[in-house]
Amino acid sequence: MRLEGSTVIVTGAGSGIGRALSVELARAGAELMLVGRRRDVLEETRNLFPPGPDAEIVTADLTLGADRVRVRDRAMAAFSGLDLLVNNAGIMDAATFAATSDGMMERMLATNLMAPFALTRELLPLLQAGGAPRIVNMGSLLGDIAMPNFAGYAATKFALRGLSDALRRELKPMGIGVTYVAPRATRTEGLDQIAHFVDTKGTKLDDPQLLARRIVGAIERGRRYLYPSGAERLFLLVQRFAPALIDRSVSTRTQEPQGQSPIPQISSR
């Protein structure tokens, strides 16, 4: 996919991976629409862009149908077609299963699953009008390897991975590609909010800028998936072909202080 001159929407563009990815896409020459709940942080992201076309800013709560429609309407007014939709907005609530409330679960389902599902549906006609259009869904390694204290979050990311596979197969005849990205632990503001459940000492945390460059590369090459390299690839193979090994390893640690994971690298966003 050629990014120079492409039209792009990035959700959750005000911080973390969304901000870093927006900056990389702007450097590649894309014309962007930044979507998020707070205008001030979206403007901070836009201020990091190199000289070029002024990015659109749309403040929206994507868990609300009316706001998703407003994003669609703004996109239709700004673009004749949409080349790239990045469903990056997401939240992570960490808690033991017994302490995970209905409200926590409903919030994660609404943000991590329903929002990308419904926003993609709203923007589908505009994507069909794009040139070699692509959807990028931001998942997590916890969408492949579920860990204690992250049952709700993992469930939403497993579902997003399934949605990505289904869309890839259904939308292929329309010429729309789908890339599912599964980052590991990334140095973002959100990691501080779950510090009680994640042992970050000695954990390799990915830099958002480096991850953003890898995502841009995956978009340009039209890749179906983007996973970390290194030890995590081995864990994925173990999960798929010998999951009992991970069951035994993780289950022996669930009572440790702060819910520390034996594979801290996969405690992702």
**DSSP labels, 64-97:** SHHHHHHHHHHHHHH-SS--EEEE---------G
Residue 262 confidence (pLDDT): 36
Give domain status of residue 173, yes or no. Answer: yes
The number of domains in the chain is: 1
Whether residue 62 is contained in a domain is answered as yes
At 170 the pLDDT is 98
In a domain, 218, yes or no: yes
- Whether the CB-CB separation of 264 and 184 falls below 8 Å is answered with no
Give the domain extent around 189: 7-266
172 is catalytic: no
Q: Which of 106-110, 142-146, 147-151 is most confident?
A: 106-110
Look up the CATH number of the domain holding residue 156: 3.40.50.720
- Indicate whether 259 belongs to any domain: yes
Angle at 115 between CA 113 and CA 119, to 5 degrees: 125
- 180 in catalytic set: no
Q: Is there a domain that residue 1 lies in?
A: no
Give the burial class of 97: count Cβ atoms within 10 A of its Cβ; 0-12 exposed, 13-18 middle, 19 or more buried: exposed
Q: Where are the extended beta strands (E) located within 20-161?
A: 31-36, 56-59, 84-87, 134-138
Which tens digit of pLDDT belongs to each residue from 75-99? 999 999 999 999 999 999 999 999 9
Give the predicted TM-score (pTM) of the model.
0.88
In a domain, 51, yes or no: yes
2 domain residue, yes or no: no
- Domain membership of residue 30 (yes or no) is yes
Map tokens 């450097």 to a residue. 27
* The pLDDT of residue 253: 54
pLDDT of residue 243: 86
Which residue did the predictor score with more confidence, 187 or 82? 82
Choose the weakest-confidence range: 126-135, 200-209, 219-228: 200-209
